[in-house]
Amino acid sequence: MSLSSLLRQSNAEALSLSQQTAQYLRKHASTGISTIHIPFLSYPESTDVWLMYEKLLLSCLRTGDDKAAFNCLEKLIDRFGATNERVMGLRGLYQEAVAKDDAALERVLQEYDEVLAEDTVNTPVAKRRIALLRSLSRTTEAIDALTELLESSPTDIEAWTELSDLYLSQNLFPQAVFCLEEVLLVAPNAWNIHAQLGEVLYISAMNGNESSEGRSLAEAARRFCRSVELCDDYLRGYYGLKLTSDRMLSTNPNDTRSTGQVATVDNGELPVLPTAVVRRLNEQATFKLAEITRTSNSSCNVADINAAKDLLNRSTQRKQR
Amino acid sequence: MASSSSKALIALGTILLAHACYSAYEHSALHLAAGLPLDISIETVLSVVFICVGLVLGAEELKPISWRVWAGRAERESGGGGPFQGLEDRLGFVDIRVKRKDFADWVRDQGSDNKG
């Protein structure tokens, strides 16, 4: 299990992991910098041990087992020192979690500010500060801080995605789209980011004005197409493609332009998709969604499958009417 | 994981190869000037072919070469999501207080379910 999958695990899994903490701490009680390494007799120190401590720390914080979390944190501080950037970030996470009220959170925030005043490029702490600002619903400040962070590290795609999410929460769609495009510059094969970009474009088309709706929808459809091109049977991509093409067909059903007459646009933008193409995309997406929902096994996300079934039912009802 | 047939082929090939080597050694000790007899050459070649076929048959299942097949598999694996899932989880920006609250709510729900 990788570190990032930790956040997606269910509550039950988090509980079982945090219950292993005491046992793990006992088993690895001797591991630390003080241990003298004897060849062939003692195990070499591996990064897995410390990743496990980090994992346990997060699970314990999530399940509210603060004492065990503190033990894990102490282990990490003993090994890497209190001035290690990553450890500082984790320590801040612990303090945020155990903070009783807003005043305590403000103190944590102040501490972050002090750390950053000394060392402006301490990325883990800077990220914690932004997360805390967001958590305190000071979104504008969070956006400012994040853009500043991105000035100094423009290839940090995790930060770009977070910024896109922040902009999206403020309904600033063009900015959110731009951030996701930055992510795609660094990770052009990230199929889930392509799908997410499609989703943002779709939402912006739904909320935008009439004139730009067609172009946003066409762009969204292209992004969804790319995501299913990069990943076989990608439910999220086909779902988005179906939704987008449905919308395009319903807003523009009697477009008489045929495939041959694609309007060329001078300013480098891609033209709006012809209706025949959209119809074929729609058929393909419907077919694929039906196939995926039929052949899905228990390992798939049940909620996703149900949402896809719902969408299919709705569109067939609309056709019958 | 090697199947039993591939293991058997490799074993047979190894025995034949050892036998051929030993035969060649004995032959050279007895007839210094004469060339290697045909049956020993054939045995050597056959044994090597057996070993090769056995190794190929026993090889692990091949990993997908094309990106989309690999990505589709990564997406479907339990708890998967592939290497780019971290971009959506964003561990560095996690809001731990919300996570704690979610968990507390979940525990309360479980408790009330058990009672009811």
- Which tens digit of pLDDT belongs to each residue from A61-98? 888 888 888 988 998 898 888 888 999 999 999 999 98
Q: What is the ipTM of this complex?
A: 0.73
- Identify which of A4, A159, A234 has the shortest CB distance to residue B91: A4
Residues of chain B found within 8 Å of residue A11, distances taken between Cβ atoms: 102-103, 106-107
Nearest-Cα residue of chain B relative to residue A86: B92
Interface mutation target, options A7, A101, A165, A288, chain B, most CBs of B under 10 Å: A7
pLDDT band at A297 (very low <50, low <70, confident <90, very high): low
Distance CA A229, CA A56 (A): 37
Higher-confidence position of A301 and A247: A247
pLDDT band at A269 (very low <50, low <70, confident <90, very high): low
Nearest-Cα residue of chain A relative to residue B91: A4
Interface mutation target, options A6, A138, A180, A192, chain B, most CBs of B under 10 Å: A192
Long-range contacts of B103-109 (CB under 8 A, 24+ apart): B103/A11, B103/A14, B103/A15, B103/A62, B103/A63, B103/A64, B104/A64, B106/A11, B107/A11
Size of the A and B interface in Cβ pairs below 8 Å? 119
Instruction: Tell me whether residues A161 and B88 touch, CB distance under 8 A.
Output: yes
pLDDT at A15: 79
Interface mutation target, options B88, B107, B113, B114, chain A, most CBs of A under 10 Å: B88
The average pLDDT across A294-308 equals 74
pLDDT at B31: 78
Instruction: Tell me whether residues B95 and A232 touch, CB distance under 8 A.
Output: no
Instruction: Tell me whether residues A234 and B72 touch, CB distance under 8 A.
Output: yes
The average pLDDT across A112-134 equals 91
- Which tens digit of pLDDT belongs to each residue from A214-224? 888 999 999 99
The average pLDDT across B59-66 equals 88
pTM: 0.80
Distance CA A230, CA A243 (A): 19
pLDDT at A260: 43
- The token pair at A262 is 């694609």
pLDDT at A259: 43
A251: left (phi over 0), alpha (psi -120 to 50) or beta: alpha
Instruction: Give the burial class of A159: count Cβ atoms within 10 A of its Cβ; 0-12 exposed, 13-18 middle, 19 or more buried.
Output: buried
Percent of chain B scored above 70 by pLDDT?
93
Chain A nearest-CA distance from B6, in A, is: 33
